[in-house]
Amino acid sequence: MTVASTKQPRHAAGPLYALGLEGSANKLGIGVLSHDPATNQTTILSNVRHTFVSPPGTGFLPKDTAKHHRTHFASVCAAALRDAGVSPAQLSCICYTKGPGMGAPLTSVAVGARALSLLWERPLVGVNHCVGHIEMGRVITGASNPVVLYVSGGNTQVIAYASQRYRIFGETLDIAVGNCIDRFARTLRIPNDPFPGYNVEQLAKKGGVLLDLPYAVKGMDCSFSGILAAADVLAAQMFAQDKLLAAGGALKEGETRITPEDLCFTLQETVYAMLVEITERAMAHVGSRQVLVVGGVGCNERLQEMMGRMAADRGGSVYATDERFCIDNGIMIALAGLLAWETGFETRLEDSTCTQRFRTDEVHIAWRED
Amino acid sequence: MADSQEFPCALTLDVPFPTARLASVALKSIQVDKELSPLVRRDFSIASPTSGAEGDNVEDTVLQIHYRATTNRMLRVAVNSFMESLALVIEVMENLDTDVLAAKSADTS
């Protein structure tokens, strides 16, 4: 394994332990894992998550989300340590999400991480959230060098690895695909519990009529805001139909009765087809047959199915994880942080700030070979 | 005093901690994040208790925060934000400090 030239790699006999703290969006995730640098064996010891769920029709606001994280930080952290049976003295480092994400929630967790670091006298490692998703996906699925589709409520990127960087091949030009789906769930007033995308997926399974929505692939990039606006227009038409029928009226001749099921079905088919297209193009460029889907939207079974069919046509396969690892969690931060720590990386206390914008390709992936 | 004209609204908070170590942990945990608004200035320091403690072994156990702001509204926003962070740090100390965890694991084993 190659290491950064300026840093000294850290050697150890046996496994190293790390605590991971994640709170870049509405999930507070804290977990402990171990990694043995000699055998490259990763073991998950605990993975505790507490999600801030806002009422139907609303999203999660930074202030309320930060309050949620502060309220549950100590109890979730205590549960993660207890489940793992690991004491602070055994930890090599405390890993926290530096970014990208929402400022106030990120900072609330960073304050807690610093307090732990000072009380326990353990070093901090600031982690890029996207790199955490990728490393976790690679470990869980065993995909060695895949094209990565990273899809969540805040991010949409097609990524391929080259020369110690995760390079962004394509991305959204406006909102994330998960944000598009979450906000449409709000339009339909679908519950946010367990998460809006899950409930959209369940409705979509009962739909079957493909309504008319724009398709917005721009080269390697995607756009979702116009699709959301168009879907909202269709939803408004549906609500008008509801009202008309409830008042005893009738639809115009030849007018399609729009249903929430068909709307969810149409939205999913459209945006996932776009994602499959840009992912396939990246695979063709890179010459890879593996696709790894990570991020909260990655646990959508319809997306996995569509991606799997494309990959099979190319003689390859799709690698995906379930909600324990797909959706934001603490262990993915612990893993990416520990891998960096093993190469000699550490975040000094005075540098342990957060940043809302932190691109995936800014991180030097010192733990992977060229 | 241009400063007191520009930032007329001020507040000083004294937060006593049981030990100098905990006062220092609180200061270092919170001071890393810069004050986001240019309309607010703040200074952190650690002082010894002014009353009560007498004698040679007076430790610096009081976290002292001095806030100045252009308006009372800005002052309130900044101080509230500080109090929220402080509450988190204190809760972490109460529940997750090494001696607390050691006592907890001794109870269960």
Q: Tokens 């320091």 correspond to what residue?
A: B45
User: Would the pLDDT of A317 be above 60?
Assistant: yes
Q: Give the containing element (helix H, strand E) for A132.
A: helix A129-141
pLDDT at A267 over 50: yes
Read off the pLDDT of residues A213-239 as tens digits, 9 standing for 90 and up. Answer: 999 999 999 999 999 999 999 999 999
In a domain, B77, yes or no: yes
- pLDDT, mean over chain A: 95
Q: Which of A169, A37, A28 is nearest to A92 (CA)?
A: A37
The pLDDT of residue A334: 98
**Mutating which of A81, A86, A114, A349 best tests the B interface, going by the most B Cβ atoms within 10 A?**
A114
pLDDT of residue A366: 96
Distance CA A86, CA A45 (A): 9
B100 has pLDDT over 50: yes
Q: pLDDT exceeding 70 applies to what percent of chain A?
A: 98
Q: Which domain holds residue B43?
A: 2-99
Pairing, β A91-99 against β A16-22: parallel
Asked if residue B109 is part of any domain, the answer here is: no
A16-22 sheet: strands from edge to edge: A41-51, A27-36, A16-22, A91-99, A124-128
B106 found inside a domain: no
Number of domains chain B is built from: 1
Partner-chain contact B92 A74, CB within 8 Å: yes
Specify if B107 maps to a domain. Answer: no
The question of ipTM being above 0.90 is answered as yes
Does A110 sit within 8 Å of B98, measured CB to CB? Answer: no
Q: B14 by DSSP, 3-state: which? A: strand
Cβ distance of A353 and B87 shorter than 8 Å: no
pLDDT at A2 over 50: no
CATH, residue B41: 3.30.310.50
Residue A4 banded pLDDT, cuts 50, 70, 90: very low
Domains of chain A: 16-135+326-362 (3.30.420.40), 143-324 (3.30.420.40)
Which residues have CB under 8 Å from B40's CB, separation 6+? Answer: B7, B67, B68, B69, B70, B74, B75, B77, B78
For residue B104, being part of any structural domain is answered with no
Q: Percent of chain A scored above 90 by pLDDT?
A: 95
Contact B70, B105 (CB under 8 A): no
> Reduced to 3 states, what is the DSSP secondary structure of residue A16?
strand
- Tens of pLDDT along A56-103? 999 999 999 999 999 999 999 999 999 999 999 999 999 999 999 999
Partner residue opposite B33 with nearest CB, options A77, A81, A107:
A107
CA–CA separation, A354 and A345 (whole Å): 17
Whether residue A129 is annotated as binding a ligand: the answer is yes
d(CA A200, CA A182): 8
Q: Of A110, A173, A99, A96, nearest to A358 (Cα)? A: A99
* SS3 letters across A291-334: EEEECHHHHCHHHHHHHHHHHHHCCCEEEECCHHHHCCCHHHHH
CA angle at A49 for the pair A306 and B98, rounded to the nearest 5°? 145
Lowest mean pLDDT among A16-20, A135-139, B49-53: B49-53
